[in-house]
Structure formats: C-alpha cells, structure tokens
Amino acid sequence: MAVGVVVGTAFGGVVSALVRDIFSPLIGVFGGPDMKGFIVDIGGAKFLFGDFIASVINFLIISAVIYFGVVMPMGRLMPKESVTEKNCPECLSSIPLKAKKCKWCGSKV
C-alpha cells in the first residue's frame, strides 16, 4: 500500500506539471486572462476569486487526465466476470445456473 501512495504522489506531481506547463499556457494563447489576478475586495477583506476558479479548473483537468489515462484503460484490461451460479429461492445456497433442482434442499428451481 505504501508503494501505491508513493507512486500516486509522483503521478500527481507529473499531472500537475502537465497542467501547469502545457494546459495553462494553452488557455492563455486563446486570450484567456490569468485568473489568479481576479480579486474581490469587500470591506478590506480580499477574496481570491480567481485563485479558487483556477484551482477548480486544475482539479477538473487532473481528474480528467487520471480518468481517461488510468481508469478507462484499466477497465478495458480487466477481465469480465461471467456468472456461473445462482441462488436457490428456498435455502439461498449457490447452485449452477443450469440446475433444475437444488442440491442442498431438493426444491425445484
């Protein structure tokens, strides 16, 4: 489990660098402002509105990269489980799908 945490942390760093170094400059190319500069000042309190939006966008991009780069390929690689047994309606024990009679209680299925 410790290896998974270390690998996950390293992968998070790689994905954060990808977002910071590749995706964020692409947003700037299309005329998007640096959102970290959006600050709302109310009664002397500074609300970093742009920083929050930038963090949300960063989270969404990281989530998408992890989902499409890890979760979906692993779902395709994992073998599908085939159902070979069912439960007897009387005694709830497992019996083969093609069984017509329960081997445990003798009831017809």
User: How far apart are the C-alpha atoms of 27 and 6, rounded to whole Å?
Assistant: 31
Asked if the model's pLDDT at residue 10 lies above 70, the reply is: yes
pLDDT at 45: 87
Q: What is the mean pLDDT of residues 55-80?
A: 82
Pick the CATH number of 2-77 from 3.40.50.2300, 1.10.10.10, 3.30.9.10, 1.10.1200.120: 1.10.1200.120
pLDDT at 36: 64
Q: What percent of the chain stands above pLDDT 90?
A: 6
Question: In this predicted structure, which of 25-29, 73-77, 95-99 has the lowest mean pLDDT?
Answer: 25-29
Domain ranges of the chain: 2-77, 83-109
Would you call 39 exposed, middle or buried from its count of C-beta atoms within 10 A (0-12, 13-18, 19+)?
Answer: exposed
pLDDT band at 26 (very low <50, low <70, confident <90, very high): confident
pLDDT band at 87 (very low <50, low <70, confident <90, very high): very high
pLDDT in tens, 34-57: 666 677 888 888 887 767 776 777
For the entire predicted model, the pTM comes to 0.50
